[in-house]
A and B are shown apart, each in its own frame.
Chain A
Amino acid sequence: MMDLRIDRHPILKFDRGQPLRFYFEGNERSGYKGETIGAALYSTGLKEFSHSFKLERPRGIFCAIGQCSSCMMRVNGIPNVRTCITPLEEGMKVERQFGRGEVPTNTEKRHIEKKEVETDIAVIGAGPAGLSASLYAAKFGAKVVLIDQNPRLGGQLIKQTHKFFGSRTHDAGVRGIDIAEKLVKEVRESENITVMSDATAFGYYKPSTIGVATMDTLYKIRAKKIIMATGAAEKSLLFENNDLPGVYGAGAAQTLMNIYGVKPGDRLIMVGAGNVGVIVAYQLLQAGVNVKMIVEAMPKIGAYFVHAAKVRRMGVPILTRHSIKRAYGDGKVEGATIVELDEKWQPVSGTEQDVDVDGIAISVGLRPTYGLLDQAGVDIHFVPELGGHVALRSRNLETSVKGIYVAGDVSGIEEASTAIMEGRIAGLSAVLDMGFGGKEAEEMREKVRSELEDLRAGPFGERIRKGLEKVEVL
């Protein structure tokens, strides 16, 4: 059986847990404790994870962080399980499903417990923004419940193996994974923070209550203040066969290789030369994947030059004014056709070129995961500079619904460094609005705010500054 697991890596060590046996459509498969069902299956070479509801087109993993539906399978009789975020267990029975999945009839009746929790602050999302918000609120004595749907805390940070930019006081030169480790450790050590992982926040109810589901418990979490730090999901791109298994988000490739140590493919093309695309391309090279090229529709590379230079000196070409025209292959990606674009973004006929790849990573931007905010009745606006639909907010990051705050990518696509600072501001604002913290918290918030402004002051911060003008209006 094929095994796409990575053994040697310059940066990461994969300490795989205890070996586990499970069954995929009746056949015995092996995996390790700590892996998700999705990662274990992917490592065996499985590409086709599900089928589209209507046309039954094959679908493969696309986001790998529980934000889309293309990896849903039937697990122990339960349909629509997001295999990409569900931890593997000994003896699990996993099957692909057709259509919307049938509600189980003959499985044992499962007992779902119901619990109510009271707390000062509920933080949804344990990426850099949510972790920082929790820490800064807990610092001043607030009781915090921190909720994340992934098995591991840290959000997107736990797969950033590269060193971060910024200043030393904000961990510049430190790898994202190490920043995450530090934040998670502090959170675990704080007596005021209760962590719930593998727990999905699915709804907001008046007054100030969040519904949260785990595999066996349904929680009603009543909080005086709620901080939404749900991050972002990757955008897709329109082209022929863009749903073929083997077409996935760059972040999904990163999740597979850097969290689970599973190679997303052997030969890849990256679509999009922004920071994410270029950084992930570099990390693919570190994982031993052959990156054939990066194509970029814009006339210039969006990533920082220093990031681009790193992949160029590894011999990876970056073709600006080029895009992907189609993916091809029988049930899975076997190649991509790229094409040059003219000044009006139109394909130049005759410039088509087939590239032999088994994976197509898409990195054309992220969009805020704003569903919960919308459902809570928060005023939302579409702001292209911030990546999509975002909440209107005050300088203190409070939304139009009193007591709900936003921080991080959900409030506008930016960076981990800015997510950390926004998290701090939101956490401090929540405690201040509850009457804790006093002058010390207020001065701290002012300081974080001015550091954040410094970071955004350069030419690369211009878009964000423009976007913020439109939403920081409350």
Chain B
Amino acid sequence: MEEYEKKGTITIDYLRELGNIPSEERMKKGPVAMTECVQDIPCNPCAEVCPTKSIHMDNINDRPKVDFNTCIGCTLCMQVCPGLAIFMLDKSKEKPRLTIPYEMLPMPERGDTVRLLDREGKDIGEGRVIALLFPDKKYRSALVTVEVDDENLLLEARNLRVAGVKE
């Protein structure tokens, strides 16, 4: 039994071992997708929609593996992922940027400062919302891009909370 099956959270070390974390150089070149989908489950739309064929899977039950060299950071895989298991990392701008899928209310607005939460929902810092993308107009379900001061948050923050909303 894997540790994550017991707790429902995964460690950065485990993700690194799987080769799921893009290199420093790659992140410096521009946005890149990072998957946290580590089990063999019957799902593959991320691979199907990728315009650069950067997500590799041997069959529908295989876990996705991103080729960081060909990924162009277009977020299409994120938009379709039912597991909300893909995040976008970018260190090419003045400040590091992280994109998180978010389907809760209240929805933040551009310019808002939001609290960032880790994989257990613990408050670990803050970010400034610089972009919101709503893949489907019908729903308040968004990809939220935040700018952070602490670059460690790119690997650690996986959720957000609109400041002022109680836990």
Contacts and interface: CB of A to CB of B under 8 A. Distances in A.
Interface in A1-21: 8-11
Contact of B5 (A10, A305, A312): A305
Interface of B: 1, 4-10, 36-45, 48-49, 59-61, 79-85, 103-105, 107, 117-122, 139-141, 158-159, 167
A306 B41 CA distance: 10
B104 A8 contact: no
A268 interface: no
Interface stretch (A80-88, A107-115, A166-174, A186-194): A166-174
Contact of B120 (A168, A307, A313, A458): A313
Interface string A155-197: 0000000111111100011010000000000000000000000
Contacts of B10: 305, 309
A307 B5 CA distance: 11
A463 interface: no
A10 B141 contact: yes
A416 interface: no
Interface of A: 8-11, 162-168, 172-173, 175, 273, 285-286, 288, 299-301, 304-316, 318, 320, 454-461
A306 B9 CA distance: 9
Contacts of A310: 83-84
A313 B119 contact: yes
Given A301-B5, A313-B121, A10 B107 contact: yes
A180 to B, nearest CB: 14
Given A301-B8, A309-B85, A10 B43 contact: no
Contact of A318 (B8, B117, B167): B8
A301 B83 CA distance: 16
Given A11-B103, A165-B41, A458-B61, A314 B159 contact: yes
A458 B41 contact: yes
Given A313-B120, A455-B42, A455-B60, 5 more contacts: A11-B141, A172-B80, A273-B8, A454-B59, A458-B61
Contacts of A456: 42
B95 to A, nearest CB: 23
A167 B44 contact: yes
A273 B48 CA distance: 29
27 contacts: A10-B103, A162-B82, A163-B80, A165-B42, A166-B43, A167-B43, A168-B45, A168-B49, A168-B80, A172-B43, A172-B48, A172-B82, A173-B45, A173-B79, A273-B8, A299-B6, A300-B1, A306-B37, A307-B83, A309-B10, A312-B9, A314-B104, A315-B120, A315-B122, A457-B60, A458-B42, A459-B61
